[in-house]
Amino acid sequence: MFLGKVIGTVWSTVKWPQVQGLKLLLVRPYHLADLAAKSGDADGDPALGFACDVAGEKACAAEAVVCADLLDAGVGDDVIVAFGHAARVAVAAASGQSAAKPPTKPIDAAVVAIVDSIAVARPST
Amino acid sequence: MKRGLVVGEVWATRMAPGLESRPLKLVVEYPGSGAAFELKELGLAPLVVAVDTLDARRGQEVLVAYGSGARNVLRPGPDNRHELCDAAVAMLVEDSVAKVLKQGPEREPGQALAQFPANSPGSHGQAGSSLAKRGA
């Protein structure tokens, strides 16, 4: 799982019938450096820097992941995203499918939690 | 499994069924081999949300299991396919073990170590003190 921020929505009309009705979100993963900035330390830690300052804004945008949304998250929300089988299990459970049946939806990332708060302690020298 | 450092916790009330009441920790994966790295690299390393059943503290070095390995941490055995978990803290790395692991060719004797602030909430005195920093 990873922690990220919802930065957009994705629409698709031509898709497999199993994913009909699934809302898709674009989520950008956080790095530790991003959380340092988010915690109110506007100048950040010079030792850590900011992810987008170092890697470049385009590099950060390229990391964005398309996720199925189970919890009606919106743009700007901080969310937790599960990958792989865990994502399919979450979608199956949300759609009321029995746990005994193997999940069948062709997805590999899903929003499984909307974050209320984050506590981070940054390592320092 | 991958080695990482617990840097925080996440709380959420709106969660998918199966994830409720699971303690979630933020773990930053050690970049590269993890033998030695600059602190700046840690800021850009992958940040993982892992289910924690071992009560790891901030600053604790841990091993994170992924996929079916993570499900086996929560529920060992064949009947865990319905567990909603793709990353879990599988082991807490002891300081002594960490020192052995970090004796790579890039590590120099007596080099400075990165530490968590002693007064940071949840940090354990020496926890994280074995975090290697190159070129300090």
The DSSP secondary structure of A4-31, one letter per residue, reads: EEEEEEE--SS--GGGTT-EEEEEEEP-
Say if the Cβ atoms of B39 and A123 lie within 8 Å.
yes
Q: Out of A35, A47, A84, name the one closest to residue B86 (CB).
A: A84
- The answer to whether the beta carbons of residues B46 and B29 sit under 8 Å apart is yes
**What would you measure as the largest C-alpha separation in chain A, in angstroms?**
53
Instruction: List, for residues A92-123, the tens digit of each pLDDT value.
Output: 888 777 777 778 889 999 999 999 999 987 66
Q: Does B115 reach chain A within 8 Å, measured CB to CB? A: yes
pLDDT-wise least confident of B2-16, B39-53, B73-87, B109-123: B109-123
Q: Does B47 reach chain A within 8 Å, measured CB to CB? A: yes
Q: What is the pLDDT of residue B25?
A: 95
Q: Assess whether pLDDT exceeds 80 at residue B132.
A: no
- The answer to whether the beta carbons of residues A98 and B17 sit under 8 Å apart is no
Measured in residues, chain A has a length of: 125
Backbone angles phi, psi at B47, to 5 degrees: -110, 120
- Cα B104 to Cα B35: distance, rounded to the nearest angstrom: 6
Question: Which whole-number Å values give the CA distances from A46 to A54, A59, A125, B9, in the listed order?
Answer: 11, 20, 11, 23
Look at A66 and B41; give whichever has higher pLDDT.
A66
What number is the average pLDDT over the span A21-33? 91
Q: What is the pLDDT of residue A56?
A: 56
Q: How many other C-beta atoms are found inside a 10 Å radius of the C-beta of residue A102?
A: 12
Which residues of chain A have a CB within 8 Å of the CB of B34?
none
Q: What is the pLDDT of residue B52?
A: 95
Which residues of chain A have a CB within 8 Å of the CB of B44?
31-33, 49, 51, 54-55
What number is the average pLDDT over the span A45-52? 44
Q: What is the pLDDT of residue B81?
A: 86
Residue A78: helix, strand or coil by DSSP?
strand
Which residues of chain A have a CB within 8 Å of the CB of B39?
47-48, 123-125
Which helix (H) or strand (E) segment is A115 a member of?
strand A109-120
The overall average pLDDT reported for chain B is 75
- The answer to whether the beta carbons of residues A75 and A114 sit under 8 Å apart is no
Give the pairing type, strands B24-29 and B131-132.
unpaired
Q: What is the pLDDT of residue B127?
A: 38
Share of chain B above pLDDT 70, in %: 62
CA distance B12 to chain A (A): 4
Q: Does B19 reach chain A within 8 Å, measured CB to CB? A: yes
Specify the amino acid at residue B64.
V
Q: What is the pLDDT of residue B122?
A: 44
- Cα B119 to Cα B125: distance, rounded to the nearest angstrom: 8
**pLDDT-derived band at B45, boundaries 50, 70, 90:** confident
Q: Assess whether pLDDT exceeds 70 at residue A64.
A: yes
Q: What is the pLDDT of residue B82?
A: 87
The overall average pLDDT reported for chain A is 81
**Interface size, chain A vs chain B, as Cβ–Cβ contacts under 8 Å:** 167
Instruction: List, for residues B71-123, the tens digit of each pLDDT value.
Output: 999 999 888 888 899 999 999 988 644 454 554 445 454 444 444 544 444 44
CA distance A125 to chain B (A): 4
Dump strand ranges (E) for chain B.
2-15, 24-29, 47-52, 61-66, 87-92, 113-114, 131-132
